[in-house]
Amino acid sequence: MHEPVLLQRQATPARDLGTYLASGGLAGLKKAREIGAEETVRIVTESGLVGRGGAGFPTGRKWESVRMAQDPERYFVLNADESEPGTFKDRVMIDVDPYMVLEGVLIACYAISATRAYIYIRGEYRREAQILQCCAEELAAAGYLEGLGPEGSALSIEIRRGGGAYICGEETALFRSIEGYRGEPMSKPPFPTVAGLFRKPTAINNVETIANVPDIVTRGPAWLRTLGTPRSPGIKLFSVSGHVERPGVYELPFGVPLRELLDLAGAHDLQAILLGGAAGTFVFPRDFDMPLSYEAAQEHHATLGSGALIAFDHETNLWRVAERLGSFFAHESCGQCVPCRVGTRRQHEMLETLAEGRGGSDERDLLVRLSQVMTDASICGLGQTASTAVRSLIEAEAEGLLAV
Ligand SMILES: Cc1cc2nc3c(=O)[nH]c(=O)nc-3n(C[C@H](O)[C@H](O)[C@H](O)COP(=O)(O)O)c2cc1C
Ligand code: SF4
């Protein structure tokens, strides 16, 4: 039985700083300050922690680049935008353990000598924004932000609420949004570690990524690798919804079979699941023994994404599901580049036809060709992945896996 790490305080949430301290809180920050920034970054690097926001980039490497930057003005950004359909683990993480999330932010700021920390939170997460604000104020009042800012001053943490655009979760669009511009992605390179927020070196991390940090620093670099698989060390939060008896957020070590997660959530006799969120892939029962790790997902031509799983029974018209996803992407495309702006709309039109039981091989062939163009020629991850689920559905249909 897995001993929860990220959700360790779920049964008795630490709603005030005293309770957090009494349950071992802030030990990671204390240790980081004792061992120094360089050693803190080394521990995070050696732990094997990779980003949980979807891209899976090594966290320590990101921090090291910013730590070594010449420019003394640099930023840390916490990405709490979480706007992908079916994803709600960051919200639960903040709800269950806001101090642990903030402790991770403080450690990151210390490690990279951040000028200031920004928390960018989904606009609808009003309650979670208030929770983080109150906790940050309590930490400041108790003196925990002292010495973490520039030249030994107190660190300042600014919370910004998003305006309701999925694209503002993409890191460069998020920076533009904080700066007061339209949230439109920028081409990379330069990467955020070189020119991020205000064109300054910036480390940006997902909420779940950062919640791992206090335990990693406290327990040392080898600890995370005692959980999960060699190529996917640690634990993962999964947001489970759809046709299951117990929807919710589940914490599991990487490598646990998908079927085990489905059993925990009370899933019976499913037609398929959508794994990895709107930009993920449909996975069918023949692959339910797949281990939940980055490498196994890749072998199965699937993706874990940010860990969203939506379950569908045999009554569900999966083409209708794809049509809803198509509508989402067409609506959320920022419109900056043609392959995505036009492609997501044409894709949605064809998916409407297929969801109504009309259309044939012409639509399917065109969808595949369109998908290739969007994947190859779009500027950012939205356009590049807007057709991933559709392609997996076309392949599954050709193999006779669809029930309706
Ligand atoms: C369209 C789009 C939306 C994204 N939304 C989020 C989001 O809501 N939260 C998040 O952490 N990362 C999101 N990302 C990934 C971020 O760009 C970035 O990789 C991530 O915040 C880095 O943190 P990590 O290394 O801790 O995963 C999104 C990416 C794309 C392309
Ligand atoms: S791929 Fe889509 S969302 Fe990304 S920049 Fe181009 S139009 Fe905007």
What lines the ligand 2 site, CB under 6 Å? 167, 185, 333-337, 340-341, 378-380, 382-383
pLDDT of residue 223: 96
Q: Looking at residue 291, what DSSP letter applies?
A: B
The answer for residues whose C-beta is within 8 angstroms of residue 70's C-beta and 6 or more apart is none
- Does the beta carbon of 29 lie inside 6 Å of ligand 1? no
Answer yes or no: is pLDDT of 260 > 80.
yes
CA dist., res. 281 & res. 36, Å (int): 42
Q: What share of the chain is helix, strand, coil (3-state, %, to 5)?
A: 50, 15, 40
pLDDT of residue 149: 84
pLDDT of residue 1: 73
pLDDT in tens, 53-95: 988 899 999 999 999 999 999 999 999 999 999 999 999 999 9
Confidence of residue 258 (pLDDT cuts 50, 70, 90): very high
**Domain 17-225 adopts which CATH fold?**
Rossmann fold (3.40.50)
- Closest residue by Cα to atom 5, ligand 1, is 169
Where exactly does CATH 1.20.1440.230 map onto the chain? Answer: 318-398
The pLDDT of 20-31, averaged and rounded, is: 97
Q: Which two tokens stand for residue 325?
A: 């996803």
CA dist., res. 345 & res. 266, Å (int): 36
pLDDT in tens, 266-285: 999 999 999 999 999 999 99
Where exactly does CATH 3.10.20.600 map onto the chain? Answer: 236-312
Cross-strand bridge partners of residue 311 = 242, 273
Burial class (CB in 10 A: 0-12, 13-18, 19+), 115: buried
- Does the beta carbon of 52 lie inside 6 Å of ligand 1? yes
Pair 176, 55: CB distance under 8 Å: no
- Closest residue by Cα to atom 12, ligand 1, is 53
**171 CA to centre of ligand 1 in angstroms:** 6
Q: How high is the mean pLDDT of the chain?
A: 96
Confidence of residue 359 (pLDDT cuts 50, 70, 90): confident
pLDDT in tens, 108-167: 999 999 999 999 999 999 999 999 999 999 999 999 999 998 888 999 999 999 989 999
**343 CA to centre of ligand 2 in angstroms:** 10
pLDDT of residue 401: 86
Residue 382 C-beta-side C-alpha neighbours within 13 Å: 34
The answer for residues whose C-beta is within 8 angstroms of residue 35's C-beta and 6 or more apart is 43
**75 CA to centre of ligand 2 in angstroms:** 25
- Other Cβ atoms less than 10 A from the Cβ of 12: the count is 9
- Does the beta carbon of 243 lie inside 6 Å of ligand 1? no
pLDDT of residue 83: 95
- Does the beta carbon of 82 lie inside 6 Å of ligand 1? yes
- Other Cβ atoms less than 10 A from the Cβ of 16: the count is 12
Q: Counting ligands in written order, which one lies closest to the CA of residue 330?
A: 2
CA dist., res. 34 & res. 31, Å (int): 5
Type of residue numbered 318: L
CA dist., res. 325 & res. 387, Å (int): 9
Mutate to test the pocket of ligand 1, among 170, 188, 236 (most ligand atoms within 8 A of CB): 170
The answer for residues whose C-beta is within 8 angstroms of residue 372's C-beta and 6 or more apart is none
- Closest residue by Cα to atom 20, ligand 1, is 53
**208 CA to centre of ligand 2 in angstroms:** 25
Tell which CATH classification among 3.40.50.1970, 3.40.640.10, 3.30.360.10, 3.10.20.600 matches the domain 236-312: 3.10.20.600
**347 CA to centre of ligand 1 in angstroms:** 24
**Backbone CA torsion sign across 81, 86, 89, 91:** positive
What are the distances in angstroms from CA 324 to CA 66, 289, 319, 329, 331? 39, 28, 9, 9, 11
Cross-strand bridge partners of residue 77 = 118, 204
Q: Tell me the CATH class for 318-398.
A: mainly alpha
The answer for residues whose C-beta is within 8 angstroms of residue 132's C-beta and 6 or more apart is 80, 94, 98, 101, 102, 119, 121, 159
* Ligand 2 atom having least distance to the Cα of 384: 1
- Closest residue by Cα to atom 22, ligand 1, is 205
pLDDT of residue 248: 98
Answer yes or no: is pLDDT of 404 > 80.
no
Q: What is the pTM of this model?
A: 0.97
- Does the beta carbon of 185 lie inside 6 Å of ligand 1? no
DSSP code per residue over 227-263: SB-SSSBSEEEEEEEES-SS-EEEEEETT-BHHHHHH
pLDDT of residue 151: 84
Q: Looking at residue 278, what DSSP letter applies?
A: T
**352 CA to centre of ligand 2 in angstroms:** 22
Type of residue numbered 171: E
Where exactly does CATH 3.40.50.11540 map onto the chain? Answer: 17-225
